[in-house]
Amino acid sequence: MDLHISRRTEVLLVVFILFSLLYGSRGEIPPKPTGGVTIVPPVKPDGPQAFPDAEKANLPVFTMDYPRIQIPFEITLWVLLASFAKIGFHVYHKITIWVPESCLLISIGLIVGGIMHSVHEEPPAVLSSNVFFLYMLPPIVLDSGYFMPTRPFFENIGTVLWFAVVGTLWNSIGIGMSLFAICQIEAFEVQDINLQENLLFASIISAVDPVAVLSVFEDVSVNEQLYIVVFGECLFNDAVTVVLYNMFNFVAEMPVVEPVDVFLGVARFFVVGLGGMGFGILFGFVAAFTTRFTSRVREIEPLFIFMYSYLAYLVAELFAISSIMAIVTCALTMKYYVEENVSQRSCTTIRHVVKMLGSISETLIFFFLGVVTITTEHEWNWGYILFTLLFAFIWRGLGVLVLTQIINPFRTIPFHLKDQFGLAYGGLRGAISFALVFTLPDNIGRKQLFVTATIAIILFTVFLQGISIRPLIEYINVRRTNRNLDTINVEVHCRLMEHTIAGIEDLCGQWSHFYWKDKIPLFKSFILYIFIYLFFAHSSTPPLLSLLSLPLLTLLCSFSSLWLFGHSSYLSRQTGSCQNTTE
């Protein structure tokens, strides 16, 4: 066998030598010389002396390649500038007492925009509608959903949804129809704006963003019901506004609107909202299930919170459903069930990072709002813009008055006239309206007019209403809450009365929110049992004993959190009194 292989190798070697002699060392056939001319092989120059006249290139000591790092460099500078602005506001904290932080950020943006416009500089390349909706909006919504006061929110969930859904529809349709009536007057020269475009624009400016109002409400300690309704309406109003915008945008491109399209639009409205909630709950439970196995790798626990919440947002965008509802419900679900699995250090990291990302994104949005106000080309039509401001203010006030009269008989604590004024006056416009107006299709002839009117109403509400809300709330003496009652003793007695009322209602055969508040902890305990004990391989507690001791564990967790909250409240009050004494 070996002899046969060696002979074959010798034959192949002989064939290779013959081919090398026949075709040359490169396996190429050289061209035949013609005319008796001898072909001289080319000679490569050796060293710089071969071309003495050639320009010699030296090794550069210092070079610059700005296009390569332009985008991350500009993003870093914008974030740093906005962060320095926030530091300056809080160093001179007396300014922010009367002037909201959003107003100061917009003012700095106006100054920067004026400088850029004077030197003929383009707006920031990193600012676009896709950047806003995919990168800047998710941290803001995640921050709002994760830090939402869950107990008062679920106690007022009916009122919140009433104002967020019905109130947004009221404002959109009312403002749109009123502006369409103004467009029929030839003196305003806007006859080319049809009803669909007016409804589309009205849905954009119906998005409320009362950041400054919430800050004032928190400082002056308004009653919990007013604060949570304004907070919840702001959060869910954004989701409803985006759904209405997409629906009216589709209708605006239709040549003829048939009655069946109206019913399909209503059906899609509920499908989009409920679908977003379903995706959020699903990813929240998946995050809770995943964090059961991170007991040995605690350093990656915060990563799952951010990735699953952002994944819920992106998947909702993929299927064209409400991404805001998805990330809000995902945040609420993770706050309940994920924090039971992760360590205390991971909880602290999650809360600080979520708050940091939301604050930076919100700061940049108001900052860019001021820049774009100066650098964008505007189409001015004073009649249309002034009537937009007037109708937005009128329909907001009428909506609060009418909807409150309908919902008050079903509330345990009704809204008084002063509370209604706080609800109506707190309807500031902000980030969502600013971003949606730039996503309008280019085939809308008056797009620049809509952009100008939207920026005008944002600046008007943020500056005028945002600055005047604090003295007005203090002047009319809105009902406030007593923060000194946030103690374990008060909380124990409140829960005792709630359980007693729920038991009496059960005996009488009547169900109210006290009944459902008494049943929800049982569902929560069941979910916690599934995600913590049932499949937890490292648990030393038998499943039956774990199930029996779960109510006690839930009680201990609840009152440990109450103790921490009371302790932190006491320390914050002591710190505030020390600062006042120092000043």
Q: Which two tokens stand for residue 158?
A: 């009916």
Domains of the chain, first to last:
104-481 (1.20.1530.20), 485-577 (no CATH)
Residues 150, 156, 159, 162, Cα dihedral to 10°: 40
Helices 301-318 & 259-290, crossing angle to 10 degrees? 160
Helix, strand, coil: what percent of the chain each, to 5? 75, 0, 25
Residues 582/507, Cβ–Cβ less than 8 Å: no
Confidence class of residue 387 from pLDDT cuts 50, 70 and 90? very high
DSSP code for 547: H
Query: Which range, of 4-18, 66-80, 146-160, averages the lowest pLDDT?
Result: 4-18
> What DSSP string runs through 54-65?
SPPPPPPSS---
User: What is the reported pLDDT for 21?
Assistant: 44
Q: How many residues are there in the chain? A: 583
Q: Which of 421, 382, 372, 377 is nearest to 401 (CA)?
A: 421
Confidence class of residue 574 from pLDDT cuts 50, 70 and 90? low
Q: Which two tokens stand for residue 402?
A: 């009418």
Q: What percent of the chain is predicted at pLDDT more than 90? A: 15
DSSP code for 512: -
Exposure class string for 295-332: b at 16+ Cβ within 10 A, else e: eeeeeebbebbbebbbbbbebbeeeebbbbbbbbbbbb
CA-angle at 203, arms to 198 and 206, nearest 5°:
120
Residues 211/140, Cβ–Cβ less than 8 Å: no
Q: Which two tokens stand for residue 323?
A: 């991404």
Task: Convert the pLDDT of each residue in 255-288 to its tens digit.
Answer: 777 777 778 878 888 888 888 999 999 999 888 8
User: What is the reported pLDDT for 309?
Assistant: 93
- In this prediction the pTM is 0.77
Residue 515's CB: how many other CB atoms inside 10 A? 15
Residues 226/422, Cβ–Cβ less than 8 Å: yes
For the residues 148-154, what does the mean pLDDT come to? 82
Comparing 568 with 460, which gets the higher pLDDT?
Answer: 460
* Region of 297 on the Ramachandran plot (φ > 0 left; ψ -120 to 50 alpha; else beta): beta
**For tokens 């059906």, what's the residue?**
267
- Where does 409-536 have alpha helices with state H? 417-425, 431-438, 447-460, 466-476, 488-508, 513-528
Exposure class string for 7-33: b at 16+ Cβ within 10 A, else e: eeeeeeeeeeeeeeeeeeeeeeeeeee
> What DSSP string runs through 352-393?
HHHHHHHHHHHHHHHHHHHHHHHHS-----HHHHHHHHHHHH
Query: Which range, of 54-63, 146-155, 527-536, averages the lowest pLDDT?
Result: 527-536
Comparing 413 with 558, which gets the higher pLDDT?
Answer: 413
User: What is the reported pLDDT for 567?
Assistant: 59
Comparing 560 with 387, which gets the higher pLDDT?
Answer: 387
Task: Convert the pLDDT of each residue in 130-142 to its tens digit.
Answer: 788 888 889 988 9
User: What is the reported pLDDT for 529?
Assistant: 60
End-to-end alpha carbon distance in the chain: 102
| Rounded distance between C-alpha atoms, residue 80 and residue 147, angstroms | 25
| Rounded distance between C-alpha atoms, residue 320 and residue 278, angstroms | 14
Comparing 313 with 515, which gets the higher pLDDT?
Answer: 313
Confidence class of residue 123 from pLDDT cuts 50, 70 and 90? low
Residues 433/440, Cβ–Cβ less than 8 Å: no
Task: Convert the pLDDT of each residue in 64-119 to its tens digit.
Answer: 888 888 888 888 888 888 888 888 877 777 777 778 888 888 888 888 888 887 87
Confidence class of residue 486 from pLDDT cuts 50, 70 and 90? low
Q: Distance between alpha carbon 301 and the CA centroid of its chain, in Å?
A: 21
**Cα dist from 326 to 130, 139, 333, 555, whole Å:** 18, 13, 11, 30
Helix (H, G, I), strand (E, B) or coil at 256: coil
One-letter amino acid at 521 equals: P
Q: Which two tokens stand for residue 311?
A: 């994944």
Q: Does residue 390 register a pLDDT over 90?
A: yes
Residues 255, 259, 261, 262, Cα dihedral to 10°: 120
Task: Convert the pLDDT of each residue in 244-253 to its tens digit.
Answer: 888 888 877 7
Helices 195-204 & 167-183, crossing angle to 10 degrees? 140
- Where does 149-295 have alpha helices with state H? 150-155, 157-161, 167-183, 195-204, 211-220, 224-252, 259-290
Residue 124's CB: how many other CB atoms inside 10 A? 21
Q: Is the dihedral of CA 312, 143, 161, 197 positive or negative?
A: negative
Mean per-residue pLDDT over the chain, rounded:
77
Q: What percent of the chain is predicted at pLDDT more than 70? A: 74
Q: Which two tokens stand for residue 73?
A: 């460099």
| Rounded distance between C-alpha atoms, residue 388 and residue 395, angstroms | 11
Q: Which of 283, 203, 267 is nearest to 237 (CA)?
A: 203
Task: Convert the pLDDT of each residue in 180-232 to its tens digit.
Answer: 999 988 888 888 888 888 999 999 998 888 776 777 777 777 888 888 888 88
Burial degree of 366 (CB within 10 A; 0-12, 13-18, 19+):
buried
Query: Which range, of 178-187, 227-236, 336-345, averages the lowest pLDDT?
Result: 336-345
Q: Which residues contact 39 (CB under 8 A, 6 or more apart)?
A: 33
Comparing 76 with 505, which gets the higher pLDDT?
Answer: 76
Confidence class of residue 162 from pLDDT cuts 50, 70 and 90? very high
User: What is the reported pLDDT for 404?
Assistant: 93
| Rounded distance between C-alpha atoms, residue 439 and residue 335, angstroms | 33
Residues 454/462, Cβ–Cβ less than 8 Å: no
Task: Convert the pLDDT of each residue in 404-460 to its tens digit.
Answer: 999 998 887 888 888 899 888 888 888 888 888 888 888 888 889 999 999 999 999
